[in-house]
């Protein structure tokens, strides 16, 4: 019976993937999605400044980008901001997730709704609000590094931690409450239960959330654009000003580095999540 | 206790900034940076000026076309992934998601190289033109009358086409994921029954697949439309002078034009539209679920 069914579905009319037009659509879609990025990466190694024709392999634009002090400074700023943002966002996000998962309290709906606001409102609105806020409260500018990055970091945390909260909460939804009963029956205190059961259980969610926060912070342009000053430029803001000026292989090189970092981090996050999901399945 | 630090953070560094520009939107600009809170509605009235109303309409138009184009492109992708062998399904999904995680600015920049006058698309078109020209000459025909004296690059960048193309490129994954999520939950025996009873693939698609995937379609339309409407980078980098969207006007008010009250009013109009769309969706899904229950 099972073999019969399997045979039927493999040759059946619902087997769209094996139909030519479906393969073609899928293929064209991936060409549409990937060719601009592939071209960007390939031509960062092209030994020609203007031409769109391949003129041989070179890494000189990477050297040039590496020797461009402004670019390296912007990159260092981006990494610093992303690092600080990740730590604080993960802590705040985990707190929100635990609170919403475990407790009932008055105005919980309002609290939850407010926490999703930074995810849903248009980026431009958040950007200008942050710009107006920091200028009106007289936020100190021109401080020594890394304190001059505080405004951007704060703005990044505000939009990153709600995302962390969503991811960690999704993980908590799978928590087996019997584990808590067992721990408490065996005499664990609230703190011991939290430290020995909850934190290890939340770990994949925390790591995935932290990687997401890091990527979001590293990639953000619009909100940073409104909170950065002349001395506090991040990599995307720097790339933006270079793009406005002209299209050069140096930008391709800087972009390729940023793409590579994001890809590695995302792959790790997705892999961790799927591994955590598989563990639950067993 | 647990909720206090995040609550304070959100209040100080999110709610207060938003409240500030909400107050500014009722303010009067005095001098270079001074804003008097006079509870005037003048900034909102100015947003109804035909000049700005036209930009709002244009933003709706761009976001609308983008959303529909995404739906048309994403549906076959979602179907293909749903019915793909379970072994390659995660890979296909990953391939859809990965560009989504690539920096928005970089994806937009990548399109410039593809679309510009000396870009890859025009390069390809010129190659085709040369080929066609050679064929026509070979058959002794005069190509100048049919395809022109010489190749003229298609104007693909810095116009409305480039903006919509860029928006579709950037937002496609937003549409594929909810469509896939609802198609994956679909009970396939309905499709088999429909096909067994003699309906064509097309008829089955229209009468079975589309209605069953409706929650995913609605979600996809909304989560594509909202970010597309508030897009700043795509029209900024790919658009021409007449393809500015609402976010570009807001940016100008806060930077070069330095008219914060008006920029704040525009921001809040954009936010109200966003909330209205989300509320409509919530209402719709509630009605849908009570209909299912009944």
Question: Does residue B214 lie in a domain region?
Answer: yes
Q: Which positions ≥6 away from B148 have C-beta within 8 Å?
A: none
CB atoms within 10 A of CB B236: 20
Are B106 and A37 within 8 A, CB to CB? yes
Question: Does residue B224 lie in a domain region?
Answer: yes
Do B198 and B265 have their domain in common?
A: yes
Which two tokens mark B76?
A: 């076959």
**Which residue among B80, B102, B172 places its CB closest to the CB of A259?**
B102
Residue A5 has pLDDT above 60, yes or no: no
A52 touches chain B (CB under 8 A): yes
What would the mean pLDDT of B132-153 be, rounded to a whole number? 74
State the pLDDT at residue A139: 85
A87 touches chain B (CB under 8 A): no
Are B6 and A96 within 8 A, CB to CB? yes
Are B85 and A125 within 8 A, CB to CB? no
> Higher model confidence: residue B213 or residue B284?
B213
> Which of B15, B35, B102, B183 is the best residue to mutate to test the A interface, defined by the most A CB atoms within 10 Å of its own CB?
B102
Q: Kindly report the average pLDDT of chain B as a whole number.
A: 87
Do B81 and B227 have their domain in common?
A: yes
B102, closest residue in chain A (CA to CA): A259
Euclidean distance between CA atoms B294 and B290, whole angstroms: 6
Are A95 and B3 within 8 A, CB to CB? yes
Are A266 and B98 within 8 A, CB to CB? yes
**Which residue among B15, B83, B92 places its CB closest to the CB of A16?**
B83
Are B230 and A123 within 8 A, CB to CB? yes
Query: What is the per-residue pLDDT across A157-176, written as a single tens digit (0 to 9) for each?
Result: 999 999 999 999 988 988 88
State the pLDDT at residue A11: 47
B116, closest residue in chain A (CA to CA): A247
State the pLDDT at residue A237: 94
Query: What is the per-residue pLDDT across A172-212, written as a single tens digit (0 to 9) for each?
Result: 988 888 888 898 899 888 888 888 888 888 988 899 899 98
Chain B residues whose CB is inside 8 A of the A92 CB are: 5-6, 9
Number of domains in chain B: 2
State the pLDDT at residue B199: 85
Which two tokens mark B77?
A: 């992708």
Question: Does residue B2 lie in a domain region?
Answer: no
State the pLDDT at residue A10: 45
Which two tokens mark A282?
A: 């067993």
Query: What is the per-residue pLDDT across B196-206, written as a single tens digit (0 to 9) for each?
Result: 888 888 888 88
Give A155 to chain B, closest Cα distance, Å. 7
Angle between helices A150-172 and A108-120 (to 10 degrees): 120
Range of the domain at B194: 57-102+157-289
Among residues B240, B55, B65, the alpha carbon closest in space to that of B157 is found at B240
A8-22, A216-230, B83-97 — most confident range: A216-230
Angle between helices B260-293 and B214-229 (to 10 degrees): 180
Chain A residues whose CB is inside 8 A of the B21 CB are: 125, 128-129, 132
H/E run at residue B34: strand B34-37
3-state secondary structure of A122: coil
Give the CA count within 13 Å in the CB-facing half-sphere of A124.
31
What would the mean pLDDT of B221-228 be, rounded to a whole number? 93
With DSSP H G I counted as helix, E B as strand and the rest as coil, what are the percentages for chain B, rounded to 5? Answer: 75, 5, 20
Looking at the DSSP assignment, which residues form a beta bridge with residue B30? B34
A4 touches chain B (CB under 8 A): no
Report the range of poorest mean pLDDT among A97-106, A135-144, A257-266.
Answer: A135-144
A155 touches chain B (CB under 8 A): yes
Quickly state the pLDDT bin for A87 (edges 50, 70, 90). Answer: very high
Euclidean distance between CA atoms A272 and A153, whole angstroms: 26
State the pLDDT at residue B84: 84
Please report which residue ranges of B33-138 form alpha helices under DSSP H.
Answer: 42-47, 50-82, 89-101, 104-115, 120-138
Do B172 and B189 have their domain in common?
A: yes
Question: Does residue B142 lie in a domain region?
Answer: yes
Distances (CA, A) of A136 to A126, A198, B22, B32, B39: 15, 42, 14, 13, 19
Q: Which positions ≥6 away from B26 have C-beta within 8 Å?
A: B37, B38, B39, B40, B41, B43, B261
Long-range contacts formed by A48-57: CB under 8 A, 24+ apart: A48/A249, A49/A248, A49/A249, A52/B113, A52/B118, A52/B119, A52/B120, A52/B123
Question: Does residue B10 lie in a domain region?
Answer: no
Residue B293 has pLDDT above 80, yes or no: no
Give the CA count within 13 Å in the CB-facing half-sphere of B137.
9
Do B175 and B237 have their domain in common?
A: yes
Q: Kindly report the average pLDDT of chain A as a whole number.
A: 86
CATH of residue B170's domain is 1.10.3720.10
Are B13 and A39 within 8 A, CB to CB? no
Do B192 and B277 have their domain in common?
A: yes
> Higher model confidence: residue B266 or residue B93?
B266
Domains annotated for chain A, with CATH where assigned, are: 2-45 (no CATH), 64-281 (1.10.3720.10)
ipTM: 0.86
Among residues B252, B241, B248, the alpha carbon closest in space to that of B270 is found at B248
Do B143 and B182 have their domain in common?
A: no
Q: Is the peptide bond before A252 cis (omega within 30 degrees of 0)?
A: no
Question: Does residue B112 lie in a domain region?
Answer: no
Are A120 and B96 within 8 A, CB to CB? no
Do B137 and B167 have their domain in common?
A: no
State the pLDDT at residue A282: 45
A24 touches chain B (CB under 8 A): no
Query: What is the per-residue pLDDT across B6-55, written as a single tens digit (0 to 9) for each?
Result: 999 999 999 999 999 999 999 988 877 778 888 989 999 999 999 999 99
Q: Which positions ≥6 away from B204 have C-beta within 8 Å?
A: B191, B194, B195
- Which position has the token pair 């890859």? B120
Do B175 and B236 have their domain in common?
A: yes
Total-model pTM: 0.87
Do B171 and B261 have their domain in common?
A: yes
Are B9 and A118 within 8 A, CB to CB? no
Question: Does residue B36 lie in a domain region?
Answer: no
Query: What is the per-residue pLDDT across B103-112, written as a single tens digit (0 to 9) for each?
Result: 889 999 999 8
Query: What is the per-residue pLDDT across B241-278, written as a single tens digit (0 to 9) for each?
Result: 888 999 999 999 999 888 999 999 999 999 999 999 99
Count of residues for chain A? 282
Chain B residues whose CB is inside 8 A of the A172 CB are: none
DSSP single-letter state for residue A17 = G
Do B126 and B230 have their domain in common?
A: no
Question: Does residue B233 lie in a domain region?
Answer: yes
Chain B residues whose CB is inside 8 A of the A25 CB are: 76-77, 80
Do B89 and B161 have their domain in common?
A: yes
Chain A / chain B CB contacts < 8 angstroms: 219
Query: What is the per-residue pLDDT across A25-80, written as a single tens digit (0 to 9) for each?
Result: 888 989 999 999 998 898 888 887 766 678 888 888 899 889 989 899 999 999 99
DSSP single-letter state for residue B116 = S
- Is the dihedral angle over the CA atoms A227, A229, A235, A238 positive or is it negative? positive
Are A39 and B120 within 8 A, CB to CB? yes
State the pLDDT at residue A156: 97
Do B239 and B124 have their domain in common?
A: no
- Which position has the token pair 């059961």? A197
Q: Which positions ≥6 away from B133 have C-beta within 8 Å?
A: B143, B147
Among residues B62, B263, B262, B31, the alpha carbon closest in space to that of B171 is found at B62
């Amino acid at each position: 019976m099972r073999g019969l069914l399997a045979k039927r579905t493999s040759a059946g009319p619902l087997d769209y993937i094996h139909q030519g037009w479906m393969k073609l659509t899928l293929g064209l879609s991936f060409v549409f999605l990937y060719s601009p990025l592939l071209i960007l990466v390939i031509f960062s190694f092209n030994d020609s400044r203007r031409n769109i024709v391949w003129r041989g392999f070179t890494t000189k634009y990477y050297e040039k980008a590496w020797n461009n002090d402004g670019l390296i400074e912007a990159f260092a700023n981006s990494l610093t901001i992303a690092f600080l943002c990740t730590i604080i966002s993960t802590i705040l996000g985990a707190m929100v997730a635990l609170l919403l998962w475990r407790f009932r309290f008055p105005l919980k709906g309002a609290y939850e709704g407010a926490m999703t606001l930074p995810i849903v409102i248009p980026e431009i609105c958040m950007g200008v609000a942050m710009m107006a806020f920091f200028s009106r409260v007289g936020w100190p500018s021109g401080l020594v590094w890394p304190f001059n990055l505080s405004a951007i970091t704060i703005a990044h945390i505000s939009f990153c931690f709600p995302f962390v909260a969503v991811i960690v909460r999704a993980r908590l939804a799978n928590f087996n409450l019997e584990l808590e009963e067992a721990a408490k029956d065996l005499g664990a205190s609230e703190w011991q239960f939290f430290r020995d059961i909850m934190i290890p259980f939340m770990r994949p969610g925390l790591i995935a959330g932290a990687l997401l926060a890091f990527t979001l912070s590293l990639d953000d342009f619009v909100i940073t654009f409104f909170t950065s000053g002349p001395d506090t430029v991040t990599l995307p803001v720097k790339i933006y000003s270079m793009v406005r000026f002209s299209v050069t292989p140096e930008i391709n090189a800087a972009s390729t580095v940023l793409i590579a970092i994001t890809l590695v981090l995302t792959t790790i996050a997705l892999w961790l999540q799927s591994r955590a999901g598989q563990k639950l399945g067993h | 206790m647990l909720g206090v630090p995040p609550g304070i953070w959100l209040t100080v560094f999110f709610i207060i900034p938003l409240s500030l520009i909400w107050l500014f939107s009722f303010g009067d600009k005095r001098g270079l940076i001074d804003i008097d809170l006079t509870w005037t509605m003048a900034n909102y009235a100015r947003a109804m000026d035909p000049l700005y109303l036209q930009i709002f309409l244009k933003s709706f138009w761009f976001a609308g076309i983008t959303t529909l184009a995404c739906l048309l492109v994403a549906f076959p992708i979602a179907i293909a992934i749903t019915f793909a062998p379970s072994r390659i399904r995660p890979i296909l999904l990953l391939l859809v998601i990965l560009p989504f995680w690539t920096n928005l600015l970089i994806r937009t920049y990548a399109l410039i190289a593809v679309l510009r006058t000396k870009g890859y698309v025009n390069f390809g078109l010129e190659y085709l033109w040369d080929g066609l020209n050679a064929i026509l000459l070979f058959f002794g025909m005069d190509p100048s009358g049919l395809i022109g004296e010489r190749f003229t690059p298609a104007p693909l960048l810095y116009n409305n086409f480039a903006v919509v193309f860029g928006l579709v490129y950037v937002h496609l994954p937003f549409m594929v994921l909810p469509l896939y999520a609802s198609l994956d939950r679909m009970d396939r025996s309905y499709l088999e029954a429909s096909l067994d009873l003699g309906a064509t693939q097309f008829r089955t698609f229209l009468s079975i697949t589309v209605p069953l995937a409706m929650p995913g379609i609605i979600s996809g339309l909304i989560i594509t439309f909202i970010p597309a409407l508030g897009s700043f980078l795509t029209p900024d980098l790919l658009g021409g002078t007449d393809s500015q969207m609402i976010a570009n006007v807001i940016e100008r008010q806060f930077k070069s034009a330095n008219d914060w009250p008006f920029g704040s009013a525009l921001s809040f109009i954009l936010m109200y539209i966003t909330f209205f769309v989300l509320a409509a969706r919530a209402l719709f899904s509630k009605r849908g679920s009570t209909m299912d229950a009944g």
